[in-house]
């Protein structure tokens, strides 16, 4: 059965299409009896407005797109919760897509959202994203764009982030102040920039305490996986038996690290302290309970959506749009894997 149109309703009731349209929108110049008849029939026939026609007329779809790297990561699940919550407050629907850390998928998804004529796009970049033509395309099409968490500074748009360098610095500084003197780091891939920022925070904390930076104590976990955390922790300890602290740039990596230390019979934090990053929901239940950096994931989603919707509304009103960079606060959650 084909979709019911305004013309169908008008034909059955013997009125004009304009009258039906006005009745559905509660225009005051349409009688209550006509409004009642139109709405009753529209409901009976399960009439739905043609969203593409509405978009063309109003130049707004009341829809935003969100592209995230992972579907199975708590941080991004909570971020989406914040995005949808904020969008609902302002009457926007959200199309959620996941790039699975693939720049090629990310590029196709941007094209899809532009074809869908979304009012704006939110995006956290895939780890392998090192080209930005698809982001420049969004900007060139004058579609508001807000990047969050994993970003690039090569695109002129608003951004919502944490201060990754400062957060990592605070984490490693705590480890040093509680007695660690030979700290290794299980870092991440080259892209995006936030993993490099965490590495810089680690280096700055060492240097401020007069400790030499030793790149042989730095291990890259390209997939940020539990398995890499376990394997690299083992290699670090075999190469540097004097290691008394390991800073992991994600909680997944930290989980693998603790798994190895527990199996090897190495006391945590008695012999080796471990610090994670993100405050994943399982961290209070790991044995021993993981100390970590808490990221405000839900707040990041809300702030990103709020910033985007503000830009959309200003654009629609033909008001000037300014770009902002918002940095959200993090804090240490100290549990059992670091010394007190």
Q: What is the pLDDT of residues 247-268, one digit of tens each?
A: 999 999 999 999 999 999 999 9
Question: How far is residue 88's CA from residue 248's CA, in Å, rounded to a whole number?
Answer: 36
- What is the distance between the alpha carbons of residues 126 and 189, in angstroms, rounded to a whole number? 11
Strands of 30-166, DSSP E: 63-68, 93-98, 120-123, 145-148, 158-162
Picking from 192, 188, 105, 100, the residue whose alpha carbon sits closest to that of residue 155 is: 192
Strands 145-148 and 218-220: unpaired
Residue 304 has pLDDT above 80, yes or no: yes
**Per the structure block, which two tokens stand in for 231?**
């394997």
Give the single-character DSSP code of 278: B
- What is 205-270 written as a DSSP string? HHHHTTPPP-GGGEEE-TT--HHHHHHHHHHHHHH-TT--EEEESSHHHHHHHHHHHHHTT--TTT
Mean pLDDT, residues 319-336: 96
Residue 72 pLDDT class (50, 70, 90 cuts): confident
**Of the candidates 41, 48, 7, which has an alpha carbon nearest to the alpha carbon of residue 33?**
41
Taking residues 182-191, what's their average pLDDT?
93
pLDDT band at 6 (very low <50, low <70, confident <90, very high): confident
- pLDDT level of residue 120 (50, 70, 90 thresholds): very high
> 165: pLDDT confidence band, cut at 50, 70 and 90?
very high
Domains within the chain, CATH numbers bracketed: 6-49 (no CATH), 59-162+297-330 (3.40.50.2300), 164-295 (3.40.50.2300)
Mean pLDDT to the nearest integer, 189-201: 90
Give CA angle at 311 (307, 314), nearest 5°: 135
- The CA-atom distances, in angstroms, between 59 and each of 144, 158, 280 are 14, 22, 40
Quote the CA–CA distance of 213 and 99 in Å, as a whole number: 35
Assign 192 to helix, strand or coil: coil
Q: Mean pLDDT for the chain? A: 93
| Stated pTM of the model | 0.81
Percentage of the chain lying above the pLDDT 70 cut: 96
């Amino acid at each position: 059965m084909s979709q019911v149109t305004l013309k169908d309703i008008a034909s059955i009731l013997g009125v004009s299409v304009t009258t039906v349209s006005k009745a559905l929108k509660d225009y005051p110049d349409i009688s209550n009896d006509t409004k009642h008849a139109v709405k009753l029939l529209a409901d009976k026939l399960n009439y739905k407005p043609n969203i593409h026609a509405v978009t063309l007329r109003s130049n707004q779809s009341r829809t935003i797109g969100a592209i995230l790297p992972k579907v199975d990561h708590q941080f991004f699940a909570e971020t989406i919760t914040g995005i949808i919550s904020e969008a609902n407050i302002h009457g926007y629907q959200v199309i959620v897509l996941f790039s699975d850390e693939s720049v090629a998928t990310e590029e196709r998804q941007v094209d899809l959202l532009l074809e869908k004529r979304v009012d704006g796009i939110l995006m956290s970049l895939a780890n392998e994203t090192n080209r930005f033509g698809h982001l420049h395309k969004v900007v060139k099409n004058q579609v508001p764009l807000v990047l969050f968490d994993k970003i690039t500074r090569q695109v002129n748009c608003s951004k919502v982030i944490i201060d990754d360098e400062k957060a990592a610095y605070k984490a490693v500084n705590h480890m040093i102040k509680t007695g660690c003197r030979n700290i290794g780091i299980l870092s991440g891939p080259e892209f995006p920039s936030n993993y490099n920022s965490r590495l810089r925070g680690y280096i700055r904390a060492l240097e401020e305490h007069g400790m030499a930076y030793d790149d042989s104590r730095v291990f890259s976990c390209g997939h940020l996986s539990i398995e890499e955390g376990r394997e690299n922790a083992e290699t670090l300890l075999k190469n540097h038996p004097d290691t008394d602290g390991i800073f992991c740039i994600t909680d997944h990596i930290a989980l693998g690290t603790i798994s190895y230390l527990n199996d090897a019979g190495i006391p945590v934090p008695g012999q080796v302290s471990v610090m994670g990053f993100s405050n994943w929901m399982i961290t209070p239940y790991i044995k021993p309970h993981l100390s970590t950096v808490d990221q405000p994931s839900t707040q990041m989603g809300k702030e990103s959506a709020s910033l985007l919707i503000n830009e959309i509304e200003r654009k629609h009103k033909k008001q000037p749009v300014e770009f902002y960079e918002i940095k959200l606060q993090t804090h240490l959650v100290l549990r059992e894997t670091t010394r007190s």
